[in-house]
Structure 1
Amino acid sequence: MGLPAAQRWWLLACLAGVPLSAVGAAYPPNTWLQVGPVVAGIPLAWWELRRWPMSTASVGWVCAFVLLHLFAARWTYSSVPYDAWGHAAFGFQRNMFDRLVHFASGLCFALPLVEAGMRHARLTRRMAVTFMLLAVLAIGALYEIFEWMLTLGLSPEAAEQYNGQQGDMFDAPKDMALALLGALVWMISARLRRDRSQSAPWGA
């Protein structure tokens, strides 16, 4: 069974984003860590979607997150020059782009996780939402553990550039909390849309 055309275009867009992120990267030593998983993941996603189909909306949400990740990886998360683009008025004491991406992780993966639970695990809607919230927290925790273990083998400079902790000792729990917040925002907005139109698919 072939992929819908829209899903193929989403995956190709992610593939096209790889050289745009890698070529001329601001911190080349970390490029393979941030871009490499995308290169490996695209053919895997293509194969998995043929075996376990998902809606184009779910694929679009995941690919939108991947593109945001590639954009941030171009500079490394803690060095995206949004202040230079006219956003200095916010007055942040640190570069907050990594916080945005963690929030987006919960927001973008909420629908795919709920859909996977309902479509492939035969969960009820309530159980699928519970699964989604727990999965977002678990994925966030596993990623923070992965970052910690990875930095044990990196130089201090490379570790700081990859982690983007920026001196905040509570960086990891804040990142996890923002991912959960993104998932909750999606959940509430989806529920409001469903209440307005009971005939619409949940989260459509």
Structure 2
Amino acid sequence: MKLIYTLLVLTILLLIWSAIKPFEYFTWFLEVLPAIIGILVLAFTFESFRFTNLIYALVFVHCAILIIGGHYTYAEVPLFDWIQDTFNQTRNNYDKVGHFAQGFVPAMIARELLLRKEVVLKNNWLNFIVVSIALAISAAYEFIEWGVSLSTGEGGDSFLGTQGYIWDTQSDMLYATIGAVIALVVLSKIHNKQLKAIKN
């Protein structure tokens, strides 16, 4: 419980910092909205379905990425400007960190839900279904970005964040897929231990 409350306080502090003179308030709102919705969902379902500590830690990291991106916009995060200049990259690639997390974190959330709700009874199908869910979430988010950009015109350009890269949408979904696969490879054993502890 202490870990969860600590992460919640840190997230709220990050949100407050992020809301102070962001690059653009409309973009800030669009970028931090998924984090706020996620926090509210977890808060309202906390008593009926409490996730493992691993999931809450991952959600915090994902929220932090979204909140920082909201403050600066994904194309203007200072550290990644420095990386762009230092390594002669053609663009600020902070958005790829965000889309990697967009696969990495939802994959583990989906894994926990599928296992604890006993939706998937055969483990050999589990990884395929989890990666498919993560990719579906990524594709749905691209639809949202596209819709916002069409409906708001230039106001949605910072939210879309393509930076002139014509394959941005496809690469975003690729990064999310890679994130989901790496999450399963790296964290499944740790996750299983925490799930076992819940049952005991």
TM norm structure 1: 0.84
Alignment partner for residue 129 of structure 1, among 114, 127, 131? 127
- What is the alpha-carbon distance in structure 2 between the residues aligned to residue 177 and residue 128 of structure 1? 20
Aligned ranges 1:145-184 → 2 under 5 Å: 145-156=143-154, 158-184=155-181
Amino acid at match of 1:183: A
- What is the alpha-carbon distance in structure 2 between the residues aligned to residue 153 and residue 200 of structure 1? 46
Alignment partner for residue 96 of structure 2, among 96, 99, 115? 99
Question: How many pairs were matched up?
Answer: 195
Q: 1:150 to 1:77 in 2, by over 3 A?
A: same
Q: 1:83 to 1:18 in 2, by over 3 A?
A: closer
Q: Percent identity?
A: 23
Aligned ranges 1:31-42 → 2 under 5 Å: 31-42=28-39
- What is the alpha-carbon distance in structure 2 between the residues aligned to residue 173 and residue 116 of structure 1? 27
Aligned partners of 2:84 and 2:91 also within 8 Å = no
Aligned partners of 2:31 and 2:69 also within 8 Å = no
Greater fraction helix: 2
Alignment partner for residue 184 of structure 2, among 180, 183, 187? 187
Amino acid at match of 2:36: V
Aligned partners of 1:107 and 1:185 also within 8 Å = yes
- What is the alpha-carbon distance in structure 2 between the residues aligned to residue 112 and residue 40 of structure 1? 15
- What is the alpha-carbon distance in structure 2 between the residues aligned to residue 83 and residue 190 of structure 1? 27
Amino acid at match of 1:105: Q
Post-superposition shift, 1:113? 1.5
Equivalent position of 2:12 in the other structure: 15
Amino acid at match of 1:46: A
Equivalent position of 1:139 in the other structure: 137
Query: What SS does the aligned partner of 1:82 have?
Result: helix
Structure 1 unmatched ranges of 5 or more:
none
Query: What SS does the aligned partner of 1:79 have?
Result: coil
Runs of 4+ with deviation above 6 angstroms? none
Aligned partners of 2:14 and 2:64 also within 8 Å = yes
Q: 1:138 to 1:116 in 2, by over 3 A?
A: same
Post-superposition shift, 1:13? 2.0
Q: 1:28 to 1:126 in 2, by over 3 A?
A: same
Amino acid at match of 1:70: I
Q: 1:203 to 1:174 in 2, by over 3 A?
A: farther
Name the Cα RMSD after superposition: 2.4
Post-superposition shift, 1:151? 1.1
Query: What SS does the aligned partner of 2:54 have?
Result: helix
